[in-house]
Amino acid sequence: MKDFQKKIDYKFKNEKLLREALTHSSYANEHKGSNVKCNERLEFLGDAVLSIVVADYIFKECPELPEGELTKLRAALVCEKALFKFAKEINLGDYLLLSKGEKNGGGAERPSIVSDAFEAVIAAIYLDGGMEPVRKHILRFVVPEIKNRNTKPFKDYKTTLQEIVQKNPGEKLLYRLVSESGPDHDKHFVFEVLLNSNVIGKGGGRSKKEAEQNAAREALELMGY
């Protein structure tokens, strides 16, 4: 328990929460009558906490991404494959309490078991210390993953459109703000993209970058790309 707390750089005030987070249902079933709790309820809460922390981070740090791309990026960061990778970074499987059968069957290396336990640990930290410690814990894994992604997390429609237009020398693109509405905390922008003097696309968004991207996307769709 102490070794694992060093790995995650968090010391529990209530270590029972951590023990529960590391307890698989097979172990709890094997020790019925011993008041052993498995991590399934914590996993449920951890899933929700993970989602809100990731959504909050990418919403603030990726203002150019439209809603659909934010959804895709969040899904990629909270899926079983990603969580299993994060869990392996701290050797989470080595600390799980599993039944003899599950242990002998390789349960400590099974993605579904390990990724569920990763979410349960998130819930345990949240219940023990609140949102700030758990945010720090989650972002320790998520931020490098975003930065190390081999492909851009969104389609850069503006660059694609620019590359197409550049094939015809003399033609120029211009993005023009059409309207700006809403209070400072909830702005909505609408941009048009013009090819020479002709409007070829229009798009809106909560930031100027997002609106320009959506205008470029519409232009590409109308052009058949």
- Which is catalytic among the residues 119, 128, 192, 210? 119
Please report where in the chains the tokens 């990026």 appear, as a residue: 73
Instruction: Residue count of the chain, please give it.
Output: 225
Contacts 24+ apart (CB under 8 A), 184-187: none
Are 191 and 202 a contacting pair, CB within 8 Å?
yes
Q: Kindly report the backbone phi and psi dihedral angles of residue 213, in degrees, each rounded to the nearest multiple of 5, phi listed first.
A: -60, -45
Task: Find residue 175's DSSP bridge partners.
Answer: 193
197 by DSSP, 3-state: which?
coil
- Which is catalytic among the residues 47, 64, 145, 218? 47
Residue 208: exposure state from Cβ atoms within 10 A (0-12, 13-18, ≥19): middle
Compute the distance between CA of residue 79 and CA of residue 86 in angstroms, rounded to an integer.
Answer: 11
- 111-129 and 80-89 helices, crossing angle to 10°: 70
Query: Is 119 designated active site?
Result: yes
| Residues tagged active-site | 47, 119
